[in-house]
Structure 1
Amino acid sequence: MTTLVAGVLLLLLSVTGIVTAQRDATGDVLRLVSPEAYKFFHQSDDGRVGGSRWAVLIAGSRGYENYRHQADVCHAYQLLRKCGLKDENIVVFMYDDIAYNENNPRPGIIINSPNGSDVYHGVPKDYTGDDVTVNNFFNVILGNKAAITGGSGKVVNSGPNDHIFIFYSDHGASGVLGMPDDSYIYANDLNWVLRKKHASGTYKSLVFYIEACESGSIFDGLLDPKGLNIYATTASNATESSWATYCPGGQPSAPPEYDTCLGDLYSVAWIEDSEAHDPRTETLQQQYQNVKKRATTSHVMQYGDIVLSLDHLSVYFGENTAKYNLQPPTTAINQRDADLVHFWEKYRKAPEGSAKKAEAQKQLVEIMSHRMHIDTSVKLIGNLLFGTEIGPDVLNVVRPAGQPLVDDWKCLKEMVKTFETHCGKLAQYGMKYIRSFANICNAGIQIEHMAEASAQACVGIHADH
């Protein structure tokens, strides 16, 4: 009898999340509670889903060179609509400067794959342009309509039995996600918002997909695997890039009239996988495994309450099928270099001696100059703070998996602000040095010393450079 009671207790602990998952030596394979046990304790999730479904879709970039991020989000919207979600339950953030951009060869149309159909038509413009802000994103999740500035005012007005899906696509770095106004979503702030949402009792389960470089750092050591009923997957681990795909010259290539990447590998992998399967029979865990098999240029990761991954896609996406043929494996380009593809293609295609050629050359030179400036400045700051012998090593330290990026997030924010005050905006490329600033904080460097080093390294550089 004692053995039986112990066995039942262990099963309960496993299902409720107190004992959720265990990593093996590879750090990526998980032993899960059995599907049979999960179904026994989640019978309401089989068949008809109780409560409502909500979705928040956000593209965190602007500029035609970042076409792919808004294309990912628009495609995700079309998927959710086909699966049955209502417009009033889908909140979309995108800068909306792509569809009618002068560089777009098909005005008013956005595609997410070489032979794909238009994914822009009908997408709600809830938050566009300057309304795509960290404050609005957080308050949409929290359902705090009074704190929203601009936009449609639509929020996730969810209840205790509801299911929430959040998808983010853009550039990222250690502990941060980018936004169109060059501000950052910091990992500690995002996780605080998720904990606050849970404390409000306004959802039953929440799933978060993130497409960004080093996106694993958003949850690694920060997202509690127990008690929050949150499951997350990311395009990469905490130290590596994510990848763009359907690019000019790739396999398959973007149509010849396009000079930019059409999608991101992790994003199109999960969206196209969803389109190729019945959401009522495929689970989140099965999708995670399928995406890992396709997006092999980075380590696709999962965090939080892994037991939730046994939910069917229909719990979050809707129950209607939207079946298409699954696309073959594709070539990919590092996210941090995908903008160079766009500007190089513009230069290559422009007629010799034309004004377009000169303008494209100017843009390329400016981009490469900015990259060199950021690289040189950060390296010099490291040398000034720690000396030439150990400076590079300190800046490049990577903490063990499961440990947050930084001990003092306020310090990290101040370090980034100090650098940008003296050396100019990090921009998309420079975000890769967030880890270096975190290491400066972890080494105990004071803000005033960082300011002195930044001023010395970037003498003559204006903050708006």
Structure 2
Amino acid sequence: MADVCHAYQILKTGGLKEENIVVFMYDDIAYDPENPRQGIIINSPYGDDVYHGVPKDYTGNDVNVDNFFAVLLGDKAKVKGGSGKVVDSGPNDRIFIYYTDHGGPGVLGMPTNPYMYANDLNEVLKQKHALGTYKSLVFYLEACESGSIFEGLLPQGLNIYATTASGPDENSWGTYCPGEYPSPPLEYDTCLGDLYSVAWMEDCDVHNLRTETIKQQYKLVKERTSSDNSYYGSHVMQYGDLPLSTDNLYLYMGTNPANENFTFIEENSLFSSQKTVNQRDADLLHFWHKYRKAPEGSDRKTKAQKEFMDAMSHRMHIDSSIQLIGKVLFGLEKSSKVLNTVRSSGKPLVDDWTCLKTFVRTFETHCGSLSQYGMKHMRSIANLCNSGVTVEQMAAASSQACTSFPSNPWSSLSNGFTA
């Protein structure tokens, strides 16, 4: 959410009109009792408050897939709840979309269920193009395995340029995390931002976007996000109509007048974070630091320990269930090869997206919710579809693998299916 708020401030400072900015955010951080600075959200250790003035167009349960698609298509009739604001664009308009959440192969997280699937997003982008209601569209996407959202799915010719925080089979990374350098202020137990997002936004904060091109920013962000090609980084990717990257950023984001005289430097002038945290482990890091800092014998320490143990128990349950389903279907020797196969570059994650969603629902019926962590296994589930497993076989294997599932909130199906 800090990333989303920071992005809004960039667009607002850049001169975009309020009616042309639509914000989706769950809005559960600023006044959460665990936020050490009530009503304030920061996106970097020494950063200013990015929460002030952010419009609450869609918050809470109004942040959902149906509303996101309706807003993007400018379809006011299909929007339910929220401010009702939509992307009411015309044939000469340029659109910028920034999306950040958890993710997995072929899927993007939402604070509500169901999640957003790659085929559905790409179909909506094609519909938007068919409506003729934009000149060009730039999409920045932050999520684990975010490359899989466009790989083999986003065609050229739609006047859409997309960049993603990571390749189709890579994690993305949190930054400004406790215990790392630079760390958040001592009172914080959580990462303050995500590496790719912080990279493009901190670039916007200092450069004159009238003269900087999308391609120049892409190169800077790619370099910073790869963390010198170390383990603690990912490879920023680009998809769609790459010639659009020669456009100036100003056309999509405006520019801060204070940066008017800033001369663009090709070398990466951005601070390169020395160490980051796998986005999927950010919650564990949060619980661990909460536990470590809580007074001995306090309720806070007991609660943090329980949260950590519940999260670990859920992870182990999900991991072992997927492995067991693979073994039931393919035997001990073949199962790991089937589950871990990564398709060649340019191919989408799965041929039959209906099969993938059906198998996710089947798994969740027998084994409990995949949740944000379990999204990492979407490729394994997709591979079952690609290998010709039937719905009946998947149901039987899931039933055999999961005779019960943990009752903690991580495994709850009370919020519905993720597919």
Please tell me the TM-score bracket, short chain as reference: over 0.9
5+ residue gaps, structure 1: 1-69
Q: Which residue of 1 aligns with 2:252?
A: 316
Distance between the aligned counterparts of 1:347 and 1:396, measured in 2?
34
Q: Check whether the contact 1:79–1:322 (CA below 8 A) recurs between aligned residues.
A: no
Q: Check whether the contact 1:245–1:263 (CA below 8 A) recurs between aligned residues.
A: yes
Deviation string 1:249-294 (CA, Å, 9 cap, x unpaired) is 1111011000000000000000011111101000000000000111
Deviation string 1:43-93 (CA, Å, 9 cap, x unpaired) is xxxxxxxxxxxxxxxxxxxxxxxxxxx000000000000000111110000
Distance between the aligned counterparts of 2:17 and 2:386, measured in 1?
46
Q: Kindly provide the amino acid, as one letter, of the partner of residue 97 in structure 2.
A: I
Q: 1:285 aligns with which of 207, 210, 215?
A: 215
RMSD of aligned residue pairs (Cα, Å): 1.3
Q: Which residue of 1 aligns with 2:271?
A: 328
Q: 2:325 aligns with which of 381, 392, 412?
A: 381
Q: Which residue of 1 aligns with 2:82?
A: 151
Distance between the aligned counterparts of 1:381 and 1:217, measured in 2?
23
SS of structure 2 residue aligned to 1:248 = coil
Q: Check whether the contact 2:13–2:255 (CA below 8 A) recurs between aligned residues.
A: no
Distance between the aligned counterparts of 2:88 and 2:45, measured in 1?
37
Q: Check whether the contact 1:82–1:322 (CA below 8 A) recurs between aligned residues.
A: no
How far apart are 1:181 and its partner, in Å? 1.4
Q: Which residue of 2 aligns with 1:139?
A: 70
Deviation string 1:182-211 (CA, Å, 9 cap, x unpaired) is 421100000000000000000000000000
Q: Which residue of 2 aligns with 1:212?
A: 143
Q: Which residue of 2 aligns with 1:300?
A: 236
- Could you list the structure 1 runs, at least 4 aligned residues long, displaced by more than 6 angstroms after superposition: none
Bigger Cα Rg: 1
Q: 1:200 aligns with which of 131, 136, 140?
A: 131
SS of structure 2 residue aligned to 1:100 = coil
Q: Check whether the contact 1:276–1:326 (CA below 8 A) recurs between aligned residues.
A: no
How far apart are 1:321 and its partner, in Å? 3.3
SS of structure 1 residue aligned to 2:22 = strand
CA 327–253 in structure 1, closer or farther in 2 if over 3 Å, else same = farther
Distance between the aligned counterparts of 2:255 and 2:169, measured in 1?
36
Distance between the aligned counterparts of 1:285 and 1:232, measured in 2?
11
Distance between the aligned counterparts of 1:349 and 1:265, measured in 2?
25
Distance between the aligned counterparts of 1:300 and 1:73, measured in 2?
19
CA 73–404 in structure 1, closer or farther in 2 if over 3 Å, else same = same
Q: Kindly provide the amino acid, as one letter, of the partner of residue 228 in structure 1.
A: L
1:273 pairs with 2:203 = yes
Q: Check whether the contact 1:275–1:322 (CA below 8 A) recurs between aligned residues.
A: no
Q: Which shifted more, 326-335 or 215-224?
A: 326-335
How far apart are 1:326 and its partner, in Å? 5.9
Q: Check whether the contact 1:110–1:118 (CA below 8 A) recurs between aligned residues.
A: yes
Q: Kindly provide the amino acid, as one letter, of the partner of residue 285 in structure 1.
A: K
Distance between the aligned counterparts of 2:45 and 2:159, measured in 1?
37
Q: Check whether the contact 1:275–1:326 (CA below 8 A) recurs between aligned residues.
A: no
Q: Which shifted more, 340-349 or 326-335?
A: 326-335
Q: Which residue of 2 aligns with 1:341?
A: 285
Distance between the aligned counterparts of 1:279 and 1:356, measured in 2?
46
Distance between the aligned counterparts of 1:422 and 1:107, measured in 2?
40
Q: How does 1:296-445 map to 2 (within 5 A)?
A: 296=226, 297-321=233-257, 323=259, 327-330=270-273, 331-445=275-389
Distance between the aligned counterparts of 1:361 and 1:409, measured in 2?
39
Deviation string 1:112-161 (CA, Å, 9 cap, x unpaired) is 00000000000010000000000000011000010001000000000000
1:258 pairs with 2:188 = yes
Q: Check whether the contact 1:71–1:110 (CA below 8 A) recurs between aligned residues.
A: yes
TM-score by length of 2: 0.93
Distance between the aligned counterparts of 2:270 and 2:212, measured in 1?
17
Q: Kindly provide the amino acid, as one letter, of the partner of residue 412 in structure 1.
A: L
5+ residue gaps, structure 2: 227-232, 263-267, 414-419
SS of structure 2 residue aligned to 1:388 = helix
1:187 pairs with 2:130 = no
Deviation string 1:221-256 (CA, Å, 9 cap, x unpaired) is 11112x200000000000000000000111110110
Distance between the aligned counterparts of 1:128 and 1:385, measured in 2?
42
SS of structure 1 residue aligned to 2:257 = coil
Between the aligned residues of both structures, percent identity stands at: 67
Distance between the aligned counterparts of 1:155 and 1:322, measured in 2?
30
Q: Kindly provide the amino acid, as one letter, of the partner of residue 12 in structure 2.
A: R
Q: 1:240 aligns with which of 159, 170, 176?
A: 170
Q: Which shifted more, 421-430 or 303-312?
A: 421-430
TM-score by length of 1: 0.83
SS of structure 2 residue aligned to 1:425 = coil
Give the number of equivalent residue pairs.
Answer: 395
Q: Check whether the contact 2:224–2:270 (CA below 8 A) recurs between aligned residues.
A: no
Q: How does 1:57-68 map to 2 (within 5 A)?
A: none
Distance between the aligned counterparts of 2:307 and 2:255, measured in 1?
46
Q: 2:179 aligns with which of 238, 249, 270?
A: 249
How far apart are 1:322 and its partner, in Å? 5.0
1:76 pairs with 2:7 = yes
1:449 pairs with 2:397 = no
Distance between the aligned counterparts of 1:166 and 1:243, measured in 2?
20
Q: Kindly provide the amino acid, as one letter, of the partner of residue 362 in structure 1.
A: K
SS of structure 2 residue aligned to 1:308 = helix
Distance between the aligned counterparts of 2:369 and 2:16, measured in 1?
39
Q: Check whether the contact 1:279–1:321 (CA below 8 A) recurs between aligned residues.
A: no
SS of structure 2 residue aligned to 1:352 = coil
Q: Check whether the contact 1:210–1:233 (CA below 8 A) recurs between aligned residues.
A: yes
Distance between the aligned counterparts of 2:313 and 2:258, measured in 1?
46
How far apart are 1:173 and its partner, in Å? 0.6
How far apart are 1:428 and its partner, in Å? 1.3
